[in-house]
Amino acid sequence: MKSVLSFFSAFSAPQNTGYSFNLVGRVGLVIILFWMTVAVFGTWLAPYPPGEIVDWDYLGPVTSKFWLGTDYLGRDMFSRILLGARYTVGIALAAVVLACSLGIVLGMIAAVVGGWFDIILSRLLDAFNGIPSLLFGLVVVAGVGSSIPVLILTLTAIYMPGSYRFARALAVNVNTMDFITVARVRGESTPYLIVREIFPNILGPVLADMGLRFVFIVLVLSGLSFLGLGVQPPNADWGALVRENIEGLSFGAPAVVFPSIAIASLTISVNMFIDNLPKKIRDRSE
């Protein structure tokens, strides 16, 4: 997986020729890295335990004691957002990695193998794609209850077919190129064709798609939590934080503003980053 390594080297040396990318992309990357750090180390940085009621005033303003105000029960918002990052970023990341790796692998296999395998798999996933995502989430959570693994698998199931479609469409194009024919005539196996000949040529667009899908997953997760189907109290992801404190919206309480800002900053920065990926990754196939 040399290509994945080179992708990570972009983080360490953005100035490197060929892997350098512009300011907008770097700003996006910095914000993503910031939220990832928060997701990992957030609990140790939190000034108060996130579930504890620390103030008698509810939906309180920004003060030196409570940096981002207090929520509808008087809990410290700053601590709760730090903890929420772990749920939002963690669940979305796990779901996007699962959905995309499954979708990409199946998509490439379908493109290379073709025939009945391709037809049956494509129709099946198309049918699956027809189910509205929030509705599907509602039914699953109502059926088996809400827990973090269930949430991750539900989001994976919702976003896998799209990723499969995307990867298959790209791989079908690459599959018709002469260099694939040359490899076939050489007697290469299907796994070799998929990993060495096709994958490097669809990597750029697939990474961009993955970033986009991550954003969608964050939004659907927030939507599920907003409906009360996501992470269950007393824990809360950012979507749940918005829902809990929604009555504060009418008087602009920081408790509802800041989790919204957190969602927006993460999704926008991911977009900024993937739109400005280093040229070497983005235009590999050209």
Partner 1 sequence: MSKQSHVSVKDLHVGAETDSGRSVEIIKGVSFDVPPGEIVSLIGESGSGKTTIALSLMGHTRTGCFISGGEIRVGDNDVTSMGERRLSTFRGTEVAYVPQSAAASFNPSKRIMDQVIEITVIHKLMSRSDAETKAVELFRSLGLPNPETIGTRYPHQVSGGQLQRLSAAMALIGDPELIIFDEPTTALDVTTQIEVLRAFKSVMAEKRISGVYVSHDLAVVAQVADRIVVLRDGEVQEQGKVDQILYTPTHQYTKDLLAAFEPVPHAALEIPGDAEKDPLLEVHNLYAGYGPMKDGEPVAKILKDVSFTLKRGRNLGVIGESGSGKSTLARAVAGILRPYKGYALFHGEELGAGVQNRTKKQLQKSQIVFQLADTALNPSHSIQSILARPLAFYHEMRGAQKEKRVIELLDMVHLPSSIRHRLPGELSGGQKQRINLARALAAEPELILCDEITSALDTVVAAAILDLLKELQHDLNLSYLFISHDLSTVEAICDDVLVMLKGEVVEALPANEMSRKAKHPYSRLLISSIPQLDTGWLERVDADPVFAEQMANR
Nearer to partner 1, 5 or 135 (CB): 5
CB of 176 to partner 1, least distance (A): 9
CB of 181 to partner 1, least distance (A): 6
CB of 101 to partner 1, least distance (A): 19
Nearer to partner 1, 41 or 179 (CB): 179
* Cβ atoms of 3 and 244 closer than 8 Å: no
> Which residue's entry shows tokens 């990318």?
21
CA atoms within 13 A on the CB side of 69: 19
Nearer to partner 1, 65 or 196 (CB): 196
At residue 131's C-alpha, the angle toward residues 125 and 136, to 5°, is 115
Nearer to partner 1, 182 or 268 (CB): 182
- Distances 19 to 4, 50, 201, 204 between C-alpha atoms, Å: 13, 40, 17, 13
Q: Is the peptide bond before 149 cis (omega within 30 degrees of 0)?
A: no
Q: Concatenated DSSP letters for 23-80?
A: HHHHHHHHHHHHHHHHHHHHHHH-SS-TTSB--SSSS----SSSTT-B-TTSBBHHHH
CB of 86 to partner 1, least distance (A): 36
Footprint of partner 1 (CB under 8 A): 3, 177-179, 181-188, 196-197, 200-201, 203, 284-286
CB of 11 to partner 1, least distance (A): 21
* Cβ atoms of 18 and 280 closer than 8 Å: yes
